[in-house]
Structure 1
Amino acid sequence: MTSVLAGRVWSVLVPHHASGARFARHQLARTLADRIRPDFLSDVMMVVAELVGNAVRHARPLPDGMIRVTWQLAPRRHSGTVLLRVTDGGSADVPQVRTAPSDALNGRGLGIVAALARRWGVEPAGSGRCVWAEIGEPDPG
């Protein structure tokens, strides 16, 4: 597991395992805690946990057995925006929001992402795939 900082962009490799989501949340919280409001940080941490969890459950790892998680703070003139990118080895299924029955134990992850993000999407990334989300800071009011 590695972490890299380049300006206002951070990247970490996490294991293709349930513990990867926990590690990504902790790294994200450590780097952003003094940069964004706590309530906004909670939303960003929830989105990264859902995206990494989905990558572990539904996709192959990258060739090194890992998942790459990158987050970026928007430039100062667009403060209050975090762009998350979770890159995995891809799968046959395209990620999409599902409607889960009320008694289902899973199936709500991308619904949560869609509710918390301004926008999100999926794009090819080498031989894998990247699921990204742009989360905007809520109004303080």
Structure 2
Amino acid sequence: MAKRGAGMNTQAATAERIWCVVVPHHPEGARRARHRLAASLTGLIPAMTLADAVTITAELVGNSVRHASPLPGGVVRVAWRLVAGGIEIRVTDGGAATSPTVRQVGSESPDGRGLAIVAALTQAWGVDRDGLGQCVWARMPA
């Protein structure tokens, strides 16, 4: 009987965990999202993985604020989840006229590296669109 209970606890420990925060469509929103993600994942994932997840979140929210429209209410939705073997981060906004793409920029360019950074730190990233707007997502190993 004890073994059965132990197995159930192991399954609960590896169950999917999901967090979501709504932040202002403003540079302050990126800071709030970074802090919430860091607070929720500290102790659950290795420190280096957490640092990369914070960087990815900052880049995705920053891109949303700079290039896309907000969701109704002037906000951006940021969600992240732990799944077996990884982390997924999703930033949903009102969408933009053009689809997010990795840009080629010169070494002297002051910006334009956000999605290149995201691509370098993740296994995969992409864009989903629905009736409300667009979601840019990124997956990384835990």
TM-score scaled to structure 1, two decimals? 0.88
Report the counterpart of residue 128 of structure 2 in structure 1: 123
Identify which of 3, 16, 35 aligns with 2:44.
35
Instruction: Give the alignment of 1:1-141 within 5 angstroms.
Output: 8-74=17-83, 78-79=84-85, 81-137=86-142
Q: Is the 8 A contact 1:72 1:84 kept in 2?
A: yes
Q: Is the 8 A contact 1:122 1:132 kept in 2?
A: yes
After the TM superposition, list the runs of 4 or more consecutive aligned residues in structure 1 that deviate by more than 2 angstroms. none
Kindly state the Cα deviation for residue 39 of structure 1 after the two structures are TM-superposed: 0.5
Kindly state the Cα deviation for residue 54 of structure 1 after the two structures are TM-superposed: 0.1
Q: Is the 8 A contact 1:87 1:125 kept in 2?
A: no
Task: Give the number of the structure whose residues are more often helix, by fraction.
Answer: 2
Report the counterpart of residue 6 of structure 2 in structure 1: none
- Matched AA of 1:16: H
Q: Is the 8 A contact 1:120 1:133 kept in 2?
A: yes
Kindly state the Cα deviation for residue 34 of structure 1 after the two structures are TM-superposed: 1.4
Rg (Cα) greater in structure: 2
CA RMSD in angstroms comes to 0.9
In the aligned structure 2, how far is the partner of 1:18 from the partner of 1:11?
18
TM-score scaled to structure 2, two decimals? 0.87
In the aligned structure 2, how far is the partner of 1:84 from the partner of 1:53?
14
Where 1:101 maps in the other structure, the secondary structure is coil
In the aligned structure 2, how far is the partner of 1:127 from the partner of 1:43?
28
- Matched AA of 1:73: L
Kindly state the Cα deviation for residue 127 of structure 1 after the two structures are TM-superposed: 2.4
5+ residue gaps, structure 1, are: 1-6
